[in-house]
Each structure stands twice: as structure tokens, then as C-alpha cells.
Amino acid sequence: MKKIAGLMFFVVLSAVFVAAAADSKAVEKKKVIAIDAGHQARGNSSVEPIGPGSSTKKAKVSSGTSGVSTKVPEYKVTLAAAKKLKKELVSRGYKVVMIRTKNDVNISNKERALKANKKADICIRLHADGVNDSSVYGASALCPSAKNKYVAKLSGKSKKLSECVLSEMCKEAGAKNRGISLRDDLTGTNWSTIPVTLIEMGFMTNPSEDKKLNSKSYQKKLAKGMAEGVDRYFGFDD
């Protein structure tokens, strides 16, 4: 009986140590991730500078594209995916700042970046693609180049973030990886002071991919993959 009691004590003690280790790792990972669900229910055609001190201006925000098969607007897809990504990241011990939590908002791309800057360590901007060719499909990531006159110093870290998030997302979801594009004309990127990536999760103008992007199970795969990418970026995947 004493042996059994001793064994049970050892099992309980081991479980306590495992739980403590898990909690410790969760605390260790308390980085803050900003998630910007791209677009909104109604666009705002008023203009704003594409970067600090820029004379070049673009519309503050658009309502985005919509699904060729589902007819679901992009802003609904990005918010649905953003909420799943938040849940996944929180479960891994991260803190999350949601730039928007509903569709009926009026937040410009500049304002989105400034909100992320104040509270987060990195920013993930979620979008879905659209082109005139319905045969085009796959996911990609957009980040600033080393020649960007507004955020050149963020180029290296933003590219690393883009590579980590995109590759792990595509691996988990089985999506085609279209690679990284260097873009210096994105207002939401040019006003950033933290590493930032814009993830194009797929093409809503491709019938098959449009249906996938509107699938809860596929969105969960995208979220899990992106979270794996965040772990990899911060070195928590070891």
C-alpha cells in the first residue's frame, strides 16, 4: 500500500512539474501580436499620406473584394480568420490586440498601423486576393523592401516574419505558396514602427479557393499555421 501511495504521489508531483513548465513557457511567450483584419463593411475614399511626411496619398480604406462563388465580401472573411488566429495565439500564451472586432467600423490604414504600434511587438495584416483570372490561386505575403523610405529599418524583420508566417500557414493548410512580394506603397505598412506582414490568404476570385476561405475548418488550419509561424519567428518552436 505504501508503494502504491508513493507511486501516486510521484505521478501527481510529475504532473504538477509538467503543468508548471507549461505555464512558465506560456508566460515566456507573452509577446503582443496585433491582428488587423483587412478592410471593413464600407470603404472610405477620403485620402491620407501613404507614409510619414509623404505627399503621395491614397484612399483611407476600401471594402475589398468578394467571393466569386460564395459572394461573401473579403472583410467578413478576414475578420473570421482574425478571430480564429486570436484564439490560437492566446492558447499558446500570446497577448493579442485586435485592430477591429466588427465589420461596421471606420478605421483608416494609417490608424490601424498607429494602433498596432502602441500596443504590439509585431503586426499581422490579413487579406484575401482578387484578380481577373479565375484560375489563379495560392497565398502570398507582402512586406517592405530595404529601399522603403519610410520603414527600411523594418525590412529585414518584416521579411523574416512574412517568411515564417506564410510558409507555416501554407504547410498546415495545404495552400500553394506564391512567395513574398516587396511592396513600398502600402499605407498600413509604411506607418508601422514594428515588424509587419500582410498575408494574402488566397484568391476569392478562384472558385475553389473562395469556398475554402469561407470554410471554418480551413480558416482554423490557416490560423494554426500562422500561429506556428509566429512561434517560429520568436524562436518558440524549438
pLDDT of residue 19: 45
Alpha-carbon 97 to chain mean position: 11
Is the CB of residue 197 less than 8 Å from the CB of residue 179? Answer: no
pLDDT in tens, the chain (238 residues): 555 555 454 444 444 444 444 444 444 568 999 999 999 999 999 999 999 999 999 999 998 999 999 999 999 999 999 999 999 999 999 999 999 999 999 999 999 999 999 999 999 999 999 999 999 999 999 999 999 999 999 999 999 999 999 999 999 999 999 999 999 999 999 999 999 999 999 999 999 999 999 999 999 999 999 999 999 999 998 6
> Domain-by-domain residue ranges, the chain?
1-29, 31-234
The topology under which CATH files domain 31-234 is Aminopeptidase (3.40.630)
What is the structure's pLDDT at 1?
A: 53
pLDDT at 28: 56
Give the pLDDT score at 133.
97
pLDDT at 21: 46
pLDDT for residue 22: 44
pTM for this model (two decimals): 0.88
